[in-house]
A and B are shown apart, each in its own frame.
Chain A
C-alpha cells in the first residue's frame, strides 16, 4: 500500500509540474466561477421577479371589485414556480419547461414563460452552468491530462525501468488513477467550496433538504469524474503512444458527452414521439364536447337536470333553491377535470417512455444517468416540474370549485347575473408551492444511480484489466 501511495504521490507531482494541468485547472476554475456567478444572478433575478409578480397578482385578484364568480373564475390567478437554492447547481429543464401557469376556469393550461424562447444564442451545446462545466468540460480536461499518464512512460521507456525497479505492473494503472483522482479533487475542491458558498447566499434560505441535495450533487459528480479518470487511465495503459491515447480518449468523450444525450433524444423522439400540441388540444376539445351540460338537447344535460330536480324535490328548475347555472358550471368543470386528467396523464406517460428510452443510451455514456440525477437533486428536472404542475392544477380546481359553490349557494334566480362581493376573493387562498423533499422524488432517479454505480464498477474493472494486461505482456 505504501508503494502504491508513494507512486501515486510521484505521479501527482509530475502532473503538477506539467504546465498543461495548471492551464486547464485555471480554465476550469474561471469558467466555474463565471457559471456560479451567472447562476446566482439568474436565480436571484428570477426569484425577485416571481415574488413581485405573486404579490401584484394577488393584489389584482383581491382588488378586482364586485363581479360575478364565474367571471372571476375565468380571470383567476397564476401559479409561479419558485426556484430553490439547489437550482443554482443545475438549470436542468427549467429553461424549456415554463415557470408560470394560468389557473383559469374550464382549462388546464400548460406551463408557459419558457426562458429558452427569450434567448437568441448560436451553437447552443449547453448553457454555461457549474453542472455543464463538471459534466462536459472537466472530463475532457481529465482525458487530456490522463492520455499520457501510462502511455508516455511506455513511449519514453520509463515504464520498463519502473518494472525493472520492482514496480508491480498490475498496480501501475491504479496508482496513476489515484494520482489523477487526487489532482482532479484538488482542482475541484475550491469550486465545490464556491458552489457551497453560492448555495448559502441563494435568495431563498437553504434548509437541511437543500444541503442534502448539495451533498448528493457533489457525490454524483465525484462518481462521474472517477469513472472518467478510470476510463482515461485504462485507455492510456493500453495505448502504445500518447497521441493515439489522446485521440482515442477524445473519441470516447465525443461519444459519451456531446453525442450520447443527443443520440438518446433523437432516438426517443423517433421511436416514441410526443403527441403534437395540436393533436393534444384537438383531442381535449373533442372529449370536452362529449358532454355539454349547457346544451339542453345533450343527454348529459338532461341527466343532470333530472338528478338535480330529484335531489331538491322540485319539478322545475325555477323552483330550485340554488343556482342551476352554478351546478351546470360545476358539473362541466368536473367533466373537464376527468378529460384533462386523461390527456395530461397520457402526455406524462409519453414523456416517461421517452425518458426510459433516453436512459437506455446510458449504455454508451454515464452522462445521461448523471444528468438525470443532477437535475433531480437540483429540483429542476421534469419530475419536479410535474410536481409543480400537479399542485398548481389542484389549486385551480379548488379555486374554481369554491367560486362555483358560492354561485350555487347565492345565485338562485340570478344565475349569471349574480354579483359576488370582494370578500369572496379574499376567502380564496393564494397558491403557495410546497416543493418536495429529495426523498419524495428520489425513486425517479434511483435507476440512474444504479447505472452510475454500474459504470464505476465497469471502469474499475477496465483499469484492473489494463493492469493485468500490462503484467502479462511485454511493455
Chain B
C-alpha cells in the first residue's frame, strides 16, 4: 500500500511537470466551468418558465372556480363552462437537466388541458426558440464527460507505456525492483484523477447551485457514478492500446481513431439507421387528416365560436349546451380519424428507441450518454412517458366532461373539482441492461489489458 502511495506521489510530481498535463487541467476546468454556467442557467430558465406558467394558469383556474363558487354565472355562462374550463399541465422539472440538457431544449413541457384540444394540438404554441441555437446544441456536463474528457485522457495517456517503449526506458522500468503493473496503475489513477477532478467539482457546484439539493443528491450521485465508469472505460482502452506492440504515434492515432469512431461516427450512423428503419409517419399527413375530419364534421362555428353556433328556436343556454355537445362529437370524430397515425408515431418512436438502445451497445460512449440522459430525466424515453401521460390526462378530462354533458345539467363546483389533473409518470430509472453491458465491457477491457501487460512484461 505504501509502495503504491509512493508511486502515486512520484508520478503525480512527474505528471505536473508535463505541459500537456497542465493544458489538460486548464481545458478541463475551463470547459467544466462553462458547462456549469450553461447548465445552471438552463435549469434556472426551465424552472422559471414552469413556475410562471403554473402561477398564471393556476390563477386563471382559481378565478374560474371562484366565479363558479359565487353562483354569479348566468345560465349561458354555465352552459359554456365545459369549454371554458382549462387546467395547466406541466411536466415535472427533469431532476438533472443542468447536468444533461438532452431533449429538454426541444420538447414542449407545458400545455393547457381544455375540451377543445386534441392529442395532436395539445402542445400547440411553443416553437419560438432560435433554431440556429438549437441545431448547434449547448455545452453541458454530459458533453464534457462523453466528448471532451476522453480526449484529455488520450492526450495524457497515449504514451503511458508506448512512450517508455519509444524512449527505451521500458527496459529500465522492468529492471527495477518494483512492480511495473503498479506503476502503470499509479499512472492511470493519476491521469484519471486529473481529468475527473474538474468534473466532480462541476457536479458539486451544480447540485449546490440548483434547486432542491437534497432531492437531487441521489440522482447526482448516480450520474457521477456513470460518468466515472465512462472515464474508467476510456482509461482501460488507453491501457489496452498501450499494451499492444506499437509506438506512441501509432497509439495516439489508434486512440483518436477509436474515439472518432465511437463518439462521432457510430452514433451518427446508428441514429440515422434508426430513423431510416423506423421513420415516423408524415406530420403533414397528420395535419391534413385532422383537417379533413374537422371540416367533414363541422357545420358552423362549433369549433371556433361556440357562442355563435346557435339554434335561435331554443333558449340561449340550451343552444350553447347543444353546441358544446356537438363540439365534443366533432373532437371525437377527429381523434378517431387521426388515432391510427398518432399510434404509429408512438410505435415508430418506440421502435427507434429500441433499435438505438440495442445498437448503442456497439458504442460504449453512446451507452454512457444514454444512461446519463436517463438519470437526468432528459432522454427520449422520459419525454415519451410524460407525453403519453399528458395525452391520457386530456382523454380522461374530455371523457369526464362528456359524462357531465350527457347528464344535461349545469356545470357544478364538485364536477369541476372532480376533473382529472395531470399526474406525471414515475421517473424512469436508467436501463439495467445498458448499464451492465457498459460495466462488463469496461471490465473486459481492463482484464484484456492486464493480461497483455502480464504477457509483455514477463516476456
Contacts and interface: CB of A to CB of B under 8 A. Distances in A.
Interface stretch (A49-57, A185-193, A333-341): A49-57
Given A117-B106, A121-B267, A123-B370, A247 B134 contact: no
B331 to A, nearest CB: 15
Given A114-B106, A243-B252, A49 B138 contact: no
A274 B369 contact: no
A421 interface: no
Interface string B334-347: 00000000000100
Contacts, number: 283
A124 B363 CA distance: 13
Counting contact residues on chain B (CB < 8 A from A), the size range is 35 or more
A424 interface: no
Contact of B131 (A125, A270, A385): A385
Nearest to A263: B139
Contacts of A124: 137, 267, 271
Interface in A53-83: 53, 56-57, 60, 63-64, 67-68, 70-71, 74-75, 78, 80
B130 A125 contact: no
B283 A113 contact: yes
Interface in A90-128: 92-93, 95-100, 102, 109-128
Interface string A20-51: 10000001000100110010010001100110
Interface stretch (A162-170, A217-225, A278-286): A278-286
Interface in B37-82: 37-38, 41-42, 45, 49, 52-53, 56
Nearest to B294: A75
Given A97-B131, A247-B252, A273 B303 contact: no
Interface stretch (B6-14, B121-129, B409-417): B121-129
A278 B257 CA distance: 45
Interface in A343-401: 347, 350-351, 354-355, 358, 371, 381-382, 385
A200 interface: no
B253 A265 contact: no
Contacts of B251: 243
Interface string A184-223: 0000000000000000000000000000000000000000
A97 B274 CA distance: 22
Interface string B277-303: 001101111011001101100111101
A136 interface: yes
A354 B133 contact: yes
Nearest to A75: B295
Contact of A67 (B267, B300, B353): B300
Contacts of A450: none
Interface string A272-295: 011111111110000000000000
Interface stretch (A173-181, A254-262, A431-439, A467-475): A254-262
B349 A120 contact: yes
A411 interface: no
Counting contact residues on chain A (CB < 8 A from B), the size range is 35 or more
Given A74-B304, A136-B264, A354-B130, A100 B283 contact: yes
Contacts of A275: 128
A112 B122 CA distance: 13
A78 B133 contact: no
Which residue of B41, B129, B133, B285 has the most chain A CB atoms within 10 A of its CB atom? B133
Contact of B106 (A99, A102, A111, A116): A116
A57 B288 contact: yes
A63 B151 CA distance: 61
B284 A74 contact: no
Given A53-B282, A112-B127, A277-B125, A68 B300 contact: yes
Contact of B148 (A121, A123, A259): A259
A123 B349 CA distance: 16
Contact of B249 (A120, A123, A242): A242
A123 B125 CA distance: 27
A122 B378 CA distance: 11
A326 interface: no
Given A60-B288, A93-B135, A358-B133, A128 B41 contact: no
Contacts of A278: 49, 52-53, 56, 110
A31 B265 contact: yes
Interface string B134-168: 11111100010011100100110011000000000
Contacts of B288: 52-53, 56-57, 60, 78
A382 B132 contact: yes
A246 interface: yes
A114 B356 CA distance: 20
A118 B148 contact: no
Contact of A121 (B132, B275, B283, B303): B275
A115 B135 CA distance: 12
B146 A251 contact: no
B136 A262 contact: yes
A226 interface: no
A58 B284 CA distance: 13
A264 B136 contact: yes
B83 interface: no
Given A49-B282, A382-B130, A57 B356 contact: no
Contacts of A242: 249
A347 B128 contact: yes
A448 B252 CA distance: 34
A412 interface: no
A99 B284 CA distance: 9
B130 A119 contact: no
Interface string A213-251: 000000000000000000000000000011100110011
A451 interface: no
Contacts of A250: 151, 154-155, 256
A99 B250 CA distance: 47
B282 to A, nearest CB: 4
Interface string B11-45: 00000000010010001000100100110011001
Contacts of B146: 123
Contacts of B27: 251
A50 B284 contact: yes
A354 B363 CA distance: 34
B138 A269 contact: yes
Contacts of B370: 122-123
B236 interface: no
Interface in B327-365: 345, 348-350, 352-353, 356, 360, 363, 365
Contacts of A259: 31, 139, 148
B194 interface: no
Nearest to B312: A417
A273 B130 CA distance: 10
Given A67-B300, A80-B284, A118-B349, 17 more contacts: A27-B265, A38-B272, A57-B291, A74-B305, A114-B106, A118-B345, A120-B274, A122-B380, A123-B263, A123-B369, A127-B272, A136-B264, A242-B249, A250-B256, A259-B139, A266-B138, A278-B56
Interface of A: 20, 27, 31, 34-35, 38, 41, 45-46, 49-50, 52-53, 56-57, 60, 63-64, 67-68, 70-71, 74-75, 78, 80, 92-93, 95-100, 102, 109-128, 132, 136-137, 140, 144, 147-148, 241-243, 246-247, 250-251, 254, 258-259, 261-266, 268-270, 273-282, 347, 350-351, 354-355, 358, 371, 381-382, 385, 416, 419
> When A and B form their complex, which 5 residue pairs have the shortest distance between CB atoms, in order from nearest?
A121-B271, A113-B283, A93-B131, A53-B284, A123-B369
14 contacts: A53-B282, A56-B288, A57-B288, A60-B295, A70-B301, A80-B284, A93-B132, A93-B134, A93-B135, A120-B350, A120-B356, A126-B268, A280-B128, A382-B130
Interface of B: 20, 23, 27, 31, 34, 37-38, 41-42, 45, 49, 52-53, 56, 106-108, 110, 124-139, 143, 146-148, 151, 154-155, 158-159, 248-249, 251-253, 256-257, 260, 263-265, 267-272, 274-276, 279-280, 282-285, 287-288, 291-292, 294-295, 298-301, 303-305, 308, 345, 348-350, 352-353, 356, 360, 363, 365-366, 369-370, 373, 379-380, 384
